[in-house]
């Protein structure tokens, strides 16, 4: 059985794209280089809120070490401003980043030592890695969460974070799918973020699974050449916890009717 697992509900701050091709344009942290005022106001507010309860700052759309350094410098400036102004604020608010651009994921070992945590945004990360828009029916078949390249990239992120003792969470549709969640757990992921409706199914499957079996399956999947072969192997090896988890959810629904 898995002894440690965190499930969280995902929420996002509002914001709009500014480019003709938003997915590849000026968005999120890239706007910092044009105007840091909105970011400064948000970071100051978060740091002030940190004096009244636990929170974490997660930096979006980091492309690599240079982006991270620019963002961390701004956080440090905001901390110093609040200190100089005598404004109450959280002295130790954890700062992390969401890995959603392949260039950041590949350099995870260069980023891990500079942050407190990683979150892997699988929806965007897979789209960029596979060059496939998951909502475009013409190419959505190329959006493959269990593609070996995706699993190898996530495994590398987990290793990089582990070298510095940093926690790694995974959000996106991968985390909300029981089979894929078990593969992620086998790769060493211990925190999953998903919509509330997905929690019972994933939680039941994880509870029914053996950590050693999931780890063995995940390692075997890393050596398979195609997403179809990975899914077939994982579904076969994890058939019992998936079945038992689905049955547990069914019984829970019946009890609540």
**CA–CA separation, 213 vs 190, rounded Å?**
15
pLDDT tens digits along 100-145: 999 999 999 999 999 999 999 999 999 999 999 888 899 999 999 9
The rounded distance, in Å, linking the Cα atoms of 46 and 213 is 41
Q: What is the pLDDT of residue 32?
A: 80
Gyration radius of the chain over CA positions: 20
Does domain 6-256 bear CATH number 3.20.20.140? no
pLDDT at 254: 81
What is the pLDDT at residue 214? 96
The predicted structure's pLDDT at residue 18: 55
Backbone angles phi, psi at 48, to 5 degrees: -65, -40
pLDDT of residue 52: 95
Residues of the chain with pLDDT under 50: 9-15
**Per-residue pLDDT at 13:** 41
pLDDT at 6: 62
* Confidence at residue 3, expressed as pLDDT on a 0 to 100 scale: 58
Q: What pLDDT score was predicted for residue 77?
A: 96
Helix, strand or coil, per DSSP, at residue 7: strand
Sheet holding 57-59, edge to edge: 6-9, 191-194, 168-171, 117-121, 95-99, 57-59
For position 257, what pLDDT does the model report?
74
What's the CA gap between 147 and 143, in Å, rounded? 9
- Please report, for the chain, the start and end positions of each structural domain, with discontinuous segments joined by +: 6-256
Q: Mean pLDDT over all residues of the chain?
A: 91
| Single pTM value for the model | 0.88
pLDDT reported for residue 30: 80
pLDDT of residue 135: 87
Residue keyed to tokens 């499957």: 205
């Amino acid at each position: 059985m898995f002894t440690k697992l965190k499930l969280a509900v995902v929420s996002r701050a509002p914001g709009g794209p500014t480019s003709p091709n938003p997915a590849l344009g000026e968005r999120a942290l890239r706007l910092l280089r044009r105007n840091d005022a909105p970011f400064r106001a948000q970071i100051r507010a978060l740091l002030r809120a940190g004096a009244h309860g636990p929170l974490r700052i997660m930096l979006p759309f980091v492309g690599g070490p240079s982006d991270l350094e620019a963002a961390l410098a701004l956080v440090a400036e905001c901390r110093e401003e609040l200190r100089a102004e005598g404004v109450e604020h959280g002295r130790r608010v954890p700062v992390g980043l969401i890995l959603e651009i392949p260039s950041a994921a590949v350099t995870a070992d260069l980023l891990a030592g500079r942050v407190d945590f990683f979150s892997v945004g699988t929806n965007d990360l897979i789209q960029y890695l596979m060059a496939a828009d998951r909502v475009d029916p013409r190419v959505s078949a190329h959006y493959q969460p269990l593609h070996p390249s995706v699993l190898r990239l996530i495994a590398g992120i987990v290793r990089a974070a582990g070298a510095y003792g940093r926690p790694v969470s995974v959000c996106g549709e991968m985390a909300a799918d029981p089979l894929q969640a078990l593969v992620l757990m086998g790769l060493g992921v211990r925190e999953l973020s998903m919509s509330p409706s997905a929690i019972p199914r994933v939680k039941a499957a994880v509870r029914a699974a053996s950590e050693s079996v999931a780890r063995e399956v995940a390692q075997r999947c890393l050596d398979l050449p195609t997403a179809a072969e990975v899914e077939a192997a994982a579904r076969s090896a994890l058939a019992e916890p998936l079945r038992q988890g689905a049955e547990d959810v069914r019984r829970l629904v019946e009890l609540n009717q």
